[in-house]
Amino acid sequence: MLDPNDESDAKPWDLNTEFPIDSQTTPNDKNALLNIRQILQSHGNYSYLEIGSFLGGSLTPLSCRSKMCSDSVH
């Protein structure tokens, strides 16, 4: 798991690139989702299921932009 105090774990991501869809997702939520994606990718391929996405803002980074996501249901 990522250590929030370990700067070697830091990923310099651009939230506007990772989340191109306007949504109600806050910057803190976006960073949390990207950390989750990083953890998932460290274990290999994964499938993503999202239930109740209002505008689809979290679909992009976790399923559409991840090469490690083999299946996506939303």
Is residue 14 domain-resident? no
For the whole model, what pTM was predicted? 0.68
pLDDT mean over 25-38: 89
Where does the pLDDT of residue 55 fall: very low under 50, low under 70, confident under 90, or very high at 90 and above?
Answer: confident
**Angstrom distance (rounded) from CA 2 to CA 8:** 10
Q: Is 48 within the bounds of a domain?
A: yes
Answer yes or no: is 12 within a domain.
Answer: no
Is residue 3 scored above 60 in pLDDT? Answer: no
Q: Flag whether 19 is in a domain.
A: no
Q: How many domains are there within the chain?
A: 1
User: pLDDT value at position 11?
Assistant: 62
List the structure tokens of 30.
Answer: 């976006």
In a domain? residue 1: no
Q: What is the mean pLDDT of residues 46-67?
A: 72
Of 61 and 43, the structure prediction assigns the larger pLDDT to 43
Q: Which domain holds residue 32?
A: 24-73
Q: Is residue 3 part of a domain?
A: no
Pairing of strands 46-49, 69-73: parallel
Decide if 13 is inside a domain.
Answer: no
